[in-house]
């Protein structure tokens, strides 16, 4: 999928979502909950997600709870989901894989 800030069609959304594990659509956003063993692990993860997002110049909402991090993304300027939201999700998933957090 080519990166673009164009809002994805329903068919493109379904296809892109099928390629991701653990992500869901929620009120027009792309969302995933990550569980950790400790608050500190979640905090470090959230900070790393922020760094990755900033490098992509696409910034999600990140909610840090006790041993849980919720990442929600949407392209506000497009009033919906774009290829950038799914690219960010893939990059976040790569962090999980690289860190050996397969169950996160």
Q: For 88-100, how does the pLDDT look when each residue is reduced to its tens digit (9 = 90+)?
A: 999 999 998 876 6
Query: Would you state the pLDDT for residue 43?
Result: 94
Domain of residue 24 covers 10-98
Per-residue exposure over 79-90, b if at least 16 CB sit within 10 Å of its own CB, e if not:
ebbbbbbbbbbe
Predicted local distance difference test score (pLDDT) of residue 103: 55
pLDDT at 4: 87
- Give domain status of residue 89, yes or no: yes
Q: Domain of 37: which CATH number?
A: 3.30.1360.20
Q: Please, what is the average pLDDT of the chain?
A: 93
Residue 2 lies in a domain: no
What's the pLDDT at 102? 53
14 φ/ψ angles, rounded to the nearest 5 degrees: -60, -40
Query: Residues, the chain, total?
Result: 104
Say if pTM beats, i.e. exceeds, 0.85.
Answer: yes
Q: Is residue 3 part of a domain?
A: no
pLDDT at 14: 95
Q: How many CB atoms lie within 10 A of CB 25?
A: 12
Count of the separate structural domains present in the chain: 1
Give which of 27, 19, 15 is closest to 89, Cα–Cα. Answer: 19
Alpha carbon distance 64, 70 (integer Å): 7
Does 1 map to a domain?
no
The whole-number pLDDT of residue 96 equals 85
């Amino acid at each position: 999928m080519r990166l673009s800030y164009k809002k994805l069609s329903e068919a493109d959304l379904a296809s892109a979502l099928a390629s991701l594990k653990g992500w869901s659509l929620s009120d027009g956003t792309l969302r995933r909950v990550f569980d950790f063993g400790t608050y500190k692990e979640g905090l470090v993860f959230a900070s790393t997600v922020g760094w990755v997002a900033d490098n992509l110049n696409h910034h999600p909402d990140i909610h840090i709870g006790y041993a849980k991090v919720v990442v929600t993304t949407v392209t506000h300027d497009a009033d919906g989901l774009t290829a950038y939201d799914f690219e960010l999700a893939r990059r976040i998933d790569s962090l999980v894989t690289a860190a050996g957090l397969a169950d996160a």
